[in-house]
Chains A and B, each alone.
Chain A
Amino acid sequence: NAGVMQNPRHLVRRRGQEARLRCSPMKGHSHVYWYRQLPEEGLKFMVYLQKENIIDESGMPKERFSAEFPKEGPSILRIQQVVRGDSAAYFCASSPSGQASNWYGYTFGSGTRLTVV
C-alpha cells in the first residue's frame, strides 16, 4: 500500500518558468491538501481539494498559483512565472473519505523541494 507519492522530489526552475508539482494520494483517499514550508518554519496551508473540486483555497496566493485534482490522475500544484521567493518545500497530504468525525488525520508525502535560480 503505497503512501502519498510526490514528484519530483527536487525541482530547479529559473525565474519566470513554470513549476508543476504532482501528488498521488494514498489509495482510497479522496481529500488532498497542499502545504508550503520554508526552512525552520511551520506548515503553511495552501489549498484543500477533493476530486474535481476546490474546497478551500484560502492559503493560495492570488496570482501565479493554481491547483487541481482531476477525476483521473494526480493532484497538480502549478506555479507560473516562478520567483526566488517561491523556493520552499511543498508537501502534499491526503485523508480518507467517510464521516469527518471518524477519520484519523493526514498522511503526508515526502515533499517537493523547489529551488528557483
Chain B
Amino acid sequence: QQQVKQSPQSLIVQKGGISIINCAYENTAFDYFPWYQQFPGKGPALLIAIRPDVSEKKEGRFTISFNKSAKQFSLHIMDSQPGDSATYFCAAPRPHAGNNRKLIWGLGTSLAVNP
C-alpha cells in the first residue's frame, strides 16, 4: 500500500532555530507535494505546496525542498517562533493515473518551539 513516511514524529526547537521535517514517498500520479499545519482544536490548513518544476519553494520563513530522484521532500521553518508550535502533515498524490484527487498523508510531526 502506498505510504508517505514522515519524520521526526516530534520536534522541539528553541526560538529562532530552524525546524526541519522530512517526508519520503513512493510513487505519485503527478507531482504536487503540500504541507499542512494544524493547531489544537482546528482543522489542518494548507501551509505551502510545491510542484516540482522547481526544487525549492520559499514563502516567508517556510521553505519546501524537493529531491525527485530520492523521492523526498522537506519543510524548513527558519527563525522558528512559539506561534509555529503545531502539528505538521506532509502529503502526496496517490500513485495511480486519472483524475482521482486522493492524497496520501504522513503521520504528522508535533513541533514545539520553546520561547
Chain A interface residues toward B at CB < 8 A: 4, 31, 33, 40-43, 45, 48, 55-56, 91, 93, 95, 99-101, 103-111
Contact = CB atoms under 8 A, between A and B. Distances in A.
Q: Tell me if B's interface is mostly helix, strand, loop or mixed.
A: loop
Given A42-B108, A56-B100, A101 B30 contact: yes
B33 to A, nearest CB: 10
Contact of A109 (B43, B89, B100, B106): B43
Interface stretch (B44-52, B56-64, B74-82): B44-52
Contact of B43 (A55, A100, A103, A111): A111
B11 interface: no
Nearest to A107: B46
A10 to B, nearest CB: 11
Nearest to B106: A42
B69 interface: no
Interface of B: 29-30, 32, 34, 36, 42-46, 49, 89, 91, 93, 98-103, 105-108, 110
B101 A103 contact: yes
Which residue, of B29, B91, B103, B110, has the highest number of chain A Cβ atoms within 10 A? B103
B46 A43 contact: no
A105 B43 CA distance: 14
Which residue, of B29, B49, B105, has the highest number of chain A Cβ atoms within 10 A? B105
Contacts of B100: 48, 55-56, 100
Given A100-B101, A104-B32, A111-B43, 6 more contacts: A41-B107, A48-B102, A100-B30, A100-B98, A105-B103, A108-B45
Given A100-B29, A100-B93, A105-B49, A45 B102 contact: yes
A99 B99 contact: yes
Given A55-B100, A91-B43, A106-B46, A42 B30 contact: no
